[in-house]
């Protein structure tokens, strides 16, 4: 098992005594050998299982020489375009080209092409015609089936058809990668694809001797919005691994086969994934800082998955439904190793996942989940079948607190408000010890019709959290603030809603931590709202304004304290005939 970096050029091949890699990972990101970056995790896990893995990073699609650096792999190419969809990396929510890229050295845009997954796979087929290609990561999982594409404003085919890749992985990839490598090592072909959960592939016919459910065929989805809505409903309702089915979609004269989503990883399995040797650094060839690495280098990954798939995220496809958590011993070994490196600076951000307080959550009875059709385990109420991980989180945190040279031990991610409100011990631990300067209310919105559409808790619960947090801060003599993240311009939100949200923030004297302009990501429920003006789960019609200027104005309203937005805010309030609110808002700027 390699102790250092995965090889990145022919000189590193020679040092290792390699003539050829078994698997080459192609990525548009810089190669960061850290467990919060999927290229490193997949590469090191394959290495641990006996395969020679190399990384081809940031290749130029128009330069053949870039693709000759590592040559052809013995088994297959693995394309993970990056930690974001390449269109998200390249364009702002206002459809303007970005001038920076947080996953590249110096925060500079370098070689990342639009629709990188398709471009990389097509280049591989051009250079190495008979090579096998496996695709995974955000861009692959988020475009697995027919999907609405914001940047072209149309329905696109499942990405396997345009990329010509052989297999697509979604959810937890690592064990499937080893299975695929084992198969092709023996037979030179991918065999028994029908037996692996969490994969998709193209077939000339529907599965034989297997029960499956048909998705609407692509040509119908492409031309009929009502059919697209039904397509989205089936797709999102089928992500519970305890009662899901194989999904099949006809695309022209062939078929996309999406196998059932994988079950959450067992503790020993996820421990094994993270028990490999990471250097915790970017590859030394980079001379400039990588912003995403600087932001994530002290965050300890402890769990995967979600129990509340928010409508505007792709989490259910990239991380899976339900939670997989590492053991206490695995986490502590990780932290002790981290504290002995030069990267460590007396602070640990622990329990990194979609939400910190998802760690340790398990199911009391899997049989109950087999009968469940809820999209969320916590909305509208926290499911009684969940066994929380609060005690484990507190126990691990106490042991980390006493480790040598640790000054601060905070939670790495935001917390889920609905879950925290149902757990007094977790709430106390969070406020007393795990908040770094300020707590966060994620996706603040005072309108419940929008909270329903996004998959958030009711506003009443948000208010309860705010009041409880502020009360406890006073009782515990803490100086923590509470800030909010807002999503501007989600379908269903209008100017009056935005103004009402701002007034609620002023009422509670809350400042905004982050304003995110809405972006309809592929294969999300929110993208369905945006494209069709309807909700696939019978929550009615949705008001949609596709004008970029309106989204910008909503961002300006939320950012009312900025003097540069004074005229815009003043004008909009006049146009809404809300002159009485001008002083309330602008005097607080």
CA angle 410, 454, 444 (to 5 degrees): 50
Neighbours of 341 (CB within 10 A): 12
Whole-number pLDDT of residue 589: 57
pLDDT for position 588: 65
Fold of 10-202: Rossmann fold (3.40.50)
Inter-residue contact 233 to 537 (CB < 8 Å): yes
Backbone angles phi, psi at 165, to 5 degrees: -75, 165
Per-residue model confidence as pLDDT tens for the chain (589 residues): 788 999 998 889 989 999 999 999 999 999 999 999 999 999 999 999 999 999 999 999 999 999 999 999 999 999 999 999 999 999 999 999 999 999 999 999 989 999 999 999 999 999 999 999 999 999 999 999 999 999 999 999 999 999 999 999 999 999 999 999 999 999 888 888 888 999 999 999 999 878 999 999 999 999 999 999 999 999 999 999 999 999 999 999 999 999 999 999 999 999 999 998 899 999 999 999 999 999 999 999 999 999 998 999 999 999 999 999 999 999 999 999 999 998 898 999 999 999 999 999 999 999 999 989 899 999 999 999 999 999 999 999 999 999 988 999 999 999 999 999 989 999 999 998 999 889 999 999 999 999 999 999 999 999 999 999 999 888 877 888 899 999 999 999 999 999 999 999 999 999 999 999 999 999 999 999 999 999 999 878 999 989 999 999 999 999 999 999 999 999 999 999 998 999 888 886 5
CA–CA gap between residue 320 and residue 333 (Å, rounded)? 26
Q: Which residues share a beta bridge with 78? A: 25, 134
Task: Give the start-to-end residue ranges of the domains of the chain.
Answer: 10-202, 298-436, 437-589
Q: What is the DSSP letter of 435?
A: -
Beta-strand ranges (E) seen in 45-146 are 53-57, 76-79, 133-135
- Torsion over CA: 55, 179, 258, 208 (sign): positive
Architecture of domain 437-589: 2-Layer Sandwich (3.30)
**What is the per-residue pLDDT for 360?**
96
Same fold, 298-436 and 437-589: yes
Contacts of 203 (CB under 8 A, 6+ apart): 254, 255, 257
Architecture of domain 298-436: 2-Layer Sandwich (3.30)
pLDDT at 189: 85
Model pLDDT, residue 526:
97
CB 288 within 8 A of CB 106: yes
Which residue intervals of 104-242 are DSSP H helices? 116-127, 138-141, 159-163, 174-187, 218-223, 225-237
Determine contact, residues 290/280, Cβ cutoff 8 Å: no
pTM of the model as a whole: 0.95
Give bridge partners of residue 133 from the DSSP assignment: 77
Q: Regarding beta strands 299-301 and 347-352, do their DSSP bridges make them parallel or antiparallel, or are they unpaired?
A: parallel
Q: Read off the tokens for 11.
A: 């000189």
Q: What pLDDT does residue 406 have?
A: 93
Output the DSSP codes for 267-291. HHHHHHHH-S----EE-TT--S--H
Assign 434 to helix, strand or coil: coil
């Amino acid at each position: 098992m390699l102790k250092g970096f995965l090889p990145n050029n022919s000189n590193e091949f020679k040092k290792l005594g390699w003539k050829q890699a078994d698997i080459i990972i192609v990525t548009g990101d810089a190669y960061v050998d850290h467990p919060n970056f999927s290229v490193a995790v997949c590469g090191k896990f394959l290495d641990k299982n006996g395969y020679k893995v190399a990384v081809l990073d940031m290749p130029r699609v128009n330069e053949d020489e870039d693709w000759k650096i590592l040559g052809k792999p013995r088994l297959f190419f693995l394309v993970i375009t990056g930690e974001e969809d390449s269109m998200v990396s390249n364009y702002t929510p206002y459809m303007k080209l970005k001038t920076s890229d947080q996953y590249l050295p110096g925060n500079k845009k370098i070689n990342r092409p639009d629709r990188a997954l398709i471009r990389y796979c097509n280049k591989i087929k051009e250079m190495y015609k008979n090579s096998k290609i496996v695709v995974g990561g955000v861009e692959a999982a988020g475009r697995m089936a027919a999907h609405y594409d914001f940047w072209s404003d149309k329905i696109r085919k499942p990405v396997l058809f345009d990329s010509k890749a052989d297999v697509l992985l979604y959810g937890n990839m690592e064990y499937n990668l080893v299975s695929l490598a084992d198969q092709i090592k023996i037979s030179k072909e991918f065999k028994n694809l029908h037996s692996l959960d969490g994969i998709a592939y193209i077939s000339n016919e529907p599965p034989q001797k297997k029960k499956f459910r048909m998705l609407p065929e692509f040509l119908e989805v492409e031309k009929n919005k009502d059919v697209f809505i039904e397509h989205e409903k089936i797709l999102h309702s089928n992500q519970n691994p305890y009662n899901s089915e194989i999904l099949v979609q006809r695309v022209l004269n062939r078929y996309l086969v999406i196998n059932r989503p994988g079950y959450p990883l067992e503790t020993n399995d996820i421990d094994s994934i993270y028990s490999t040797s990471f250097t915790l650094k970017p590859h030394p060839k980079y001379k400039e800082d990588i912003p995403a690495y600087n932001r994530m280098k002290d965050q300890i990954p402890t769990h995967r998955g979600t129990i509340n798939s928010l409508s505007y995220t792709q989490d259910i496809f990239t991380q899976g439904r339900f939670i997989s958590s590492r053991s206490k011993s695995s986490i502590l070994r990780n932290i002790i190793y981290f504290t002995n490196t030069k990267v460590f600076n007396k602070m640990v951000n622990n329990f990194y996942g979609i939400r910190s307080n998802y760690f340790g959550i398990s199911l009391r009875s899997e049989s109950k989940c087999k009968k469940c059709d809820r999209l969320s385990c916590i909305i509208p109420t926290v499911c009684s079948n969940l066994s929380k991980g609060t005690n484990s989180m507190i126990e691990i945190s106490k042991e980390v607190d006493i480790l040598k040279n640790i000054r601060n031990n905070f939670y790495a991610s935001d917390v889920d408000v609905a879950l925290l409100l149902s757990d007094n011990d977790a709430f106390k631990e969070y406020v007393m010890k795990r908040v770094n300067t300020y707590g966060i209310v994620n996706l603040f919105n005072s309108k419940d019709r929008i909270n329903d559409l996004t998959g958030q808790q009711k506003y009443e619960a948000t208010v309860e959290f705010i009041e409880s947090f502020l009360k406890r801060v006073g009782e515990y003599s803490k100086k923590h603030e509470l800030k909010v993240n807002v999503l501007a311009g989600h379908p269903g939100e209008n100017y009056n809603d935005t103004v009402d949200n701002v007034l609620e923030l002023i009422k509670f004297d809350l400042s905004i931590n982050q304003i995110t302009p809405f972006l309809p990501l592929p294969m999300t429920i929110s993208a369905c709202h945006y494209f069709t003006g309807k909700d696939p789960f019978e929550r009615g019609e949705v008001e949609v304004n596709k004008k970029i200027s309106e989204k910008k104005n909503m961002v300006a309203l939320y950012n009312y304290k900025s003097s540069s937005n004074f005229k815009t805010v003043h004008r909009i309030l006049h146009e809404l005939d809300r002159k009485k609110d001008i002083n309330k808002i602008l005097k607080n700027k």
